[in-house]
Amino acid sequence: MVTAATFLQLGVSGLTSGATYALIALGFITIYRASNILNLAQGDFVMLGGMLTVTGMSRLGLPYPLAAAVAVMGTGLIGLLAERLVIHPIRNKPLIISIMATIGISMTLSGSALLLFGTSPRTLPPLAPAGAVSLGGGVSVSSQALAVLLVCLLLLAAFHAFSSRTWSGKAMEAAATDRLGADLVGISRSVSRMQAFFISAALGAVAGVLITPLYFMQYNAGALLGLKGFAAAVIGGWGSYAGAVLGGLVLGVVESLSLAVIPAGYKDAVAFVALLAILAVRSKGLLGSRALEEARK
């Protein structure tokens, strides 16, 4: 029988994977708000972040922090390149074309990763000193997991500050809110879109650097991570940063708790069952979403 302590422990460890989903969800939202495009290659940016860091350390002999920084910037530039080469030319095409284009980007990225890094799963040394912090009652949390949570919350605060305090953040918000209005006051939507792709690719890479020490990273790990991140963003309330983070954490915890109730093999379906349930019962997500209401009308 599952004891209360086990239950709590599962919940706590769910928060860690939840924080990862939250970071991926943030990336989805950033691009969607700036360009109304759903970037299904988001999970591959996560994979690239982790794999590039591993390669930087093992092949180029860079120190850990430098390798991570290079990986994050490099992935950001790949995101920028993807926007310029693929998304920009098809920006006025029907929805199905843009969905397929981001799937194409995803296939190209994971295919290139297969060629560059091979099929073997890689891992990284932990960021935080090894060890676990006890929360009392037999429940403990690893310090790496705490670091992931902390970075996630810091990034959320940074995002909030960026979009409400800085000029370019406000410009991105404006371009997302009202296209014509943004055009009229001289905000370049093209530039906003480029910024958004750079930021969310870099954000995905940060998530990749954070989770590679916890789970193993492989060339094809991106697809499932990306889909779960998107599911998290919808569950929390599509379109808002806070919703993305909340949705990620909730999804992580639900997925982890499900381990106590149903066999582990079903874990990967939990996210999508939760998603379909949320869409059927409360389609605007936990925090509510204007974008989803409009998409459903």
Partner 1 sequence: MRVKRVLITRLEVYLVILAALLPLVVSSEPFHHVMTIAGLYALGTLGLAVFTGFAGQISIGHSAFLGLGAYSMAILSGTCQLPTLAGLAASGLVPGLAAWGIGRQLLKLREYFLALATIGLVQIFQVLATELEGLTGGVEGLFNLPWLSVFGFQLDRPLEQVYLVWGVVYLAFLFGRNLCSSGYGRAFQVVASSEDTARTLGLSPEALKTRAFVFSAVYAGLAGGLYACIFASVSPEAFGLDMSVMLVLMLIVGGVGSLPGALAGSVLITWLDIWLSGYQQYSLAVFGLILLLLLIFFPEGIFRGIGARWIDIVRSYAREDWRKELRR
Q: What is the contact surface with partner 1 in residues (CB under 8 A)?
A: 38, 86, 89-90, 93-97, 99-101, 103-112, 114-115, 223, 227, 230-231, 234, 238, 263, 265-266, 268-269, 271-273, 275-276, 279-280, 283, 292, 295-296
Q: Pick the closer one to partner 1 by CB: 22 or 82.
A: 82
Q: Which of 11, 6, 5, 26 is nearest to 255 (CA)?
A: 11
Q: How far is the CB of 279 from partner 1 (least distance, A)?
A: 6
Q: How far is the CB of 109 from partner 1 (least distance, A)?
A: 8
Q: How far is the CB of 286 from partner 1 (least distance, A)?
A: 15
Q: Pick the closer one to partner 1 by CB: 1 or 280.
A: 280
Q: How far is the CB of 252 from partner 1 (least distance, A)?
A: 17
Q: Looking at the chain, how many residues does it have?
A: 297
Question: 54 with 116: CB under 8 angstroms?
Answer: no
Residue 143 CB partners (closer than 8 Å, separation 6+)? 126, 128, 129, 130, 131, 132, 133
Q: Which of 45, 48, 11 is nearest to 26 (CA)?
A: 45
Q: How far is the CB of 102 from partner 1 (least distance, A)?
A: 10
Q: How far is the CB of 89 from partner 1 (least distance, A)?
A: 5
Q: Pick the closer one to partner 1 by CB: 158 or 295.
A: 295
Bridge partners (DSSP) of residue 172 are none
Question: 106 with 40: CB under 8 angstroms?
Answer: yes
Q: Pick the closer one to partner 1 by CB: 140 or 283.
A: 283
Q: Pick the closer one to partner 1 by CB: 120 or 134.
A: 120
- 171 CB burial (10 A radius; 0-12, 13-18, 19+): buried
Q: Pick the closer one to partner 1 by CB: 110 or 142.
A: 110
b or e along 19-52 (b: 16 or more beta carbons within 10 Å of the residue's beta carbon)? Answer: bbbbbbbbbbbbbbbbbebbbbbbbbbbbbbbbb
Q: Which of 271, 292, 218, 201 is nearest to 21 (CA)?
A: 271
Q: Pick the closer one to partner 1 by CB: 162 or 219.
A: 219
Q: How far is the CB of 213 from partner 1 (least distance, A)?
A: 26
